[in-house]
Amino acid sequence: MQTDKTILQSYINNFQFLERGLKKQSNDPIHDLRKTAFNHLLEKGFPTKREEEWRFTDISPIIQESFILAEENNIKEFKQSDIIQLMFKDWAGPLLVFINGNYAEHLSDINTAQAGLTIDTMLSLLKKDQKSLLDTFTEFKTYNENVFSALNTAFIKDGSIIKLEKNVIADKPIHLLYISTKQEKPQLINPRNLIYLSDNSQAVIIESHVNLTDGQYFNNPVTEIRIAENARCNHIRIQDESSEAFHIGSIFVDQKQNSHYFSTSLMFGGKIARNNIYTNLDGEGIETILNGLYMGHDDQLIDNHTFINHAKPHCESHELYQGILTDNAKGVFSGKIMVRPDAQKTDAKQSNNCLLLSNEARINSKPQLEIYADDVRCTHGATVGQLNQDAIFYLRSRGITWQRAKNILTYAFAEQVVEGIGIDSVRDYVNDIILSRLKEDMNFIK
């Protein structure tokens, strides 16, 4: 799709700025990757509403804004007390803090004593061991089919790299904390995470994208996860950006035989926010669970796109997305399940339920099943509706106010996804966000 030259000009300026900053490093092999991706972006341009995958999501407010690349000058000014409300309570596991895309070493803790678990940052690996990083990259794909991941690759700078050796079970969950702050000019941030789980390994990774001060910025993170045979990954992703921010996230998951991927995607913030999850089930006996909760208010647009590629036989995928929209908020859910000819005995189940709490809220829900195998079980269901009036009356008849009855039922609807978060401090953090949206306190559920 052709994009107006003037729109792309700001990205060209940014790319030139980046290259000037690199100086000699612009001869590094990693930069070839950037250039390839950038050329791809220039060639393809940004998607428009004429493209099926973007039909309900108008991104013109994002592409018409000109962003600058985030600088790393003032990171040191932030103290732990400044960001404590964005951290999980009594967190004992590894923590990587990034402020406006730049790693804040003094706020992070990646020195795990555990053998077989390596945690590093992209920038640090680029400096000290670019070869091993590039080897890792060749194992990963560079995913240019989605222009926003190409944009991310073009501006690759920093992010989290996590690797588990064979048979290693990470003894504590790992928190990747991406914080944005208000700057004079709106910034473009492109975090890039690589997560590699070798055979029989297990890890819990929590990725959060949050803001410290309100303001406009564009966060465009990409997370690639490779899960080898018999490995298990529990990936919790919290998006609670500024109400003026743009967020387009892309997650690429590649799974091998008998592996397990459990994703919980929680979308709360952003003016326009989209999350794309692509999972490739490349082996037999794989289990994939994609759970999601999205809560939109004011004039937010929240879009969830998932794609599950069943390539081999005997795999299971379960997908549950729950949406709660009020005011003028708009939601989009697109869930594509592809069952390739080889993928016999596939068991795929998808459901997307959305509560519309105002007359103006809207949801576009699009399940897409493409099945090329004949011995499979695939089901999908979508519901859109209001709260059950009989249930509201039942609660009121017991002395519970109308507003609180509505909140109890709304919370119960969200809880179906939240209850799957197996870590108390993370679940408390998420509950806090939900309850503040409902204007209730913690006593409400305890």
Q: Closest separation between CB of residue 405 and other proteins, Å?
A: 8
Q: Closest separation between CB of residue 400 and other proteins, Å?
A: 5
416 binds other proteins per the rule CB under 8 A: yes
Contact between residue 271 and residue 301 where contact means Cβ atoms under 8 Å apart: yes
Q: Cα 148 from chain centroid?
A: 13
Rg (CA), the chain: 21
Write out the H or E segment, with its range, that includes residue 365.
Answer: strand 362-371
C-alpha dihedral over 223, 227, 233, 235, to 10 degrees? 20
439 binds other proteins per the rule CB under 8 A: no
Q: Tell me 24's DSSP state.
A: G
Minimum CB distance to other proteins smaller for 236 or for 408: 408
Q: Compute the distance between CA of residue 182 and CA of residue 85 in angstroms, rounded to an integer.
A: 17
Q: Tell me 109's DSSP state.
A: B
390 binds other proteins per the rule CB under 8 A: yes
Which residue of 415, 420, 427, 428 would you call a contact of other proteins, by CB under 8 A? 415
- Residue 239: strand pairing partners: 209, 267
402 binds other proteins per the rule CB under 8 A: yes
Strands (E), 269-361: 272-281, 287-296, 301-310, 316-325, 330-339, 347-356
397 binds other proteins per the rule CB under 8 A: yes
Q: Closest separation between CB of residue 330 and other proteins, Å?
A: 25
Q: Closest separation between CB of residue 427 and other proteins, Å?
A: 15
Nearest by Cα to 170 from 358, 412, 423:
423
Minimum CB distance to other proteins smaller for 385 or for 399: 399
Nearest by Cα to 232 from 250, 208, 255:
255
Q: Closest separation between CB of residue 413 and other proteins, Å?
A: 7
404 binds other proteins per the rule CB under 8 A: yes
Q: Closest separation between CB of residue 396 and other proteins, Å?
A: 4
Contact between residue 244 and residue 271 where contact means Cβ atoms under 8 Å apart: yes
Which CA distances in Å does 343 have to 232, 259, 261, 327, 367? 21, 16, 18, 43, 19
Under rule CB under 8 A, how many of the chain's residues touch other proteins?
23
Which residue of 33, 83, 126, 445 would you call a contact of other proteins, by CB under 8 A? 445
Judged by CB under 8 A, the stretch of 12-20, 158-166, 241-249, 402-410 that binds other proteins is: 402-410
Minimum CB distance to other proteins smaller for 167 or for 416: 416
Q: Closest separation between CB of residue 409 and other proteins, Å?
A: 7
Judged by CB under 8 A, the stretch of 103-111, 186-194, 271-279, 387-395 that binds other proteins is: 387-395
Residues with Cβ within 8 Å of 148's Cβ and at least 6 positions away in sequence, in order, are 220, 248, 250, 276
Can you spell out the DSSP letters for 59-106? -HHHHTS--EEPP-TTGGG--HHHHGGGSPTT--S-EEEEETTEE-GG
400 binds other proteins per the rule CB under 8 A: yes
393 binds other proteins per the rule CB under 8 A: yes
408 binds other proteins per the rule CB under 8 A: yes
Minimum CB distance to other proteins smaller for 339 or for 408: 408
Minimum CB distance to other proteins smaller for 310 or for 406: 406
Which CA distances in Å does 107 have to 104, 166, 180, 276? 6, 29, 15, 29
Judged by CB under 8 A, the stretch of 6-14, 155-163, 240-248, 411-419 that binds other proteins is: 411-419
Can you spell out the DSSP letters for 47-59? --TTSGGGTT---
Helix, strand or coil, per DSSP, at residue 143: coil
Q: Closest separation between CB of residue 415 and other proteins, Å?
A: 5
Which residue of 11, 38, 307, 411 would you call a contact of other proteins, by CB under 8 A? 411
Which residue of 391, 420, 427, 428 would you call a contact of other proteins, by CB under 8 A? 391
Q: Closest separation between CB of residue 262 and other proteins, Å?
A: 20
Judged by CB under 8 A, the stretch of 41-49, 101-109, 172-180, 396-404 that binds other proteins is: 396-404
Which residue of 86, 123, 371, 395 would you call a contact of other proteins, by CB under 8 A? 395
Scanning residues 115 to 144, which ones bind other proteins (CB under 8 A)? none
Which residue of 66, 282, 409, 428 would you call a contact of other proteins, by CB under 8 A? 409
Contact between residue 413 and residue 322 where contact means Cβ atoms under 8 Å apart: yes
Phi, psi of 409 (to 5 degrees): -70, -35
Q: Closest separation between CB of residue 416 and other proteins, Å?
A: 6
357 binds other proteins per the rule CB under 8 A: no
Minimum CB distance to other proteins smaller for 372 or for 402: 402
| Binding region for other proteins (CB under 8 A) | 388, 390-391, 393-402, 404, 408-409, 411-413, 415-416, 445-446
